[in-house]
Amino acid sequence: MPGDPGAGGPPPKRQAERRRRNKPDGIQVTTAPGAAEVVVPEPNESWHPVARRWYESLAESGQSRFYEPSDWATAYLLAESISRDLKPQVVGIHPETGRPVRAAIPLKGASLAAYLRAMTALMVTEGDRRRARLELERPNGGEQETPAGVTALDEYRKTLGG
């Protein structure tokens, strides 16, 4: 369905880049009964460094202020699974000792696709957030960033006017 926040395709433009701003969102906001401060679970010390870095980056990212405990549980499970996939795995049995032989193996394409789908649900990338109708802006000294095309048009108009 076009306009569906979970749909694929290119992400919508940022609010400042849109021409038409009078279209209603259709978003319903509800306050959860008994909602309290959400506690972010600590990352597992034994996780692979890449999985740990990804999980910790979520807490520093703006969209995480909207996360509920179930979102953090999803992120925790995802980081756990990523960690297991990135750590050395059993690739065979040593013929002389009979012990398992472990090696780092490349991440499977299906696993990566599943991780990226789960990350989409957590609004990890800017495109994911825009599809979900969430825009984050970082403070940059009070100046609002103007898209390059708008700046060029403004300069062109100034040359025409005088």
DSSP string, 58-75: HHHSGGGGG--HHHHHHH
Q: What is the pLDDT of residue 3?
A: 47
Least trusted range by pLDDT, from 87-91, 108-112, 130-134: 130-134
The pair of three-digit structure tokens given for residue 5, joined into one six-digit string:
């926040």
Q: Identify whether the C-beta of residue 71 lies closer than 8 Å to the C-beta of residue 55.
A: no
Answer with the residue of higher pLDDT: 86 or 32.
86
Q: Which of the four pLDDT bands, split at 50, 70 and 90, describes residue 21?
A: low
Cβ pair 94, 85 in contact under 8 A:
no
Would the pLDDT of 81 be above 90?
Answer: yes
Cβ atoms of residues 150 and 99 within 8 Å: no
* pLDDT of 66 strictly over 60: yes
**pLDDT over threshold 90, residue 141:** no
In this structure, what are the phi and psi dihedrals at residue 36, rounded to the nearest 5 degrees?
-125, 180
Q: Which two tokens stand for residue 131?
A: 């599809």
For the chain, domain boundaries: 37-136
Q: How far apart are CA 44 and CA 79, in angstroms?
A: 9
pTM of the model: 0.67
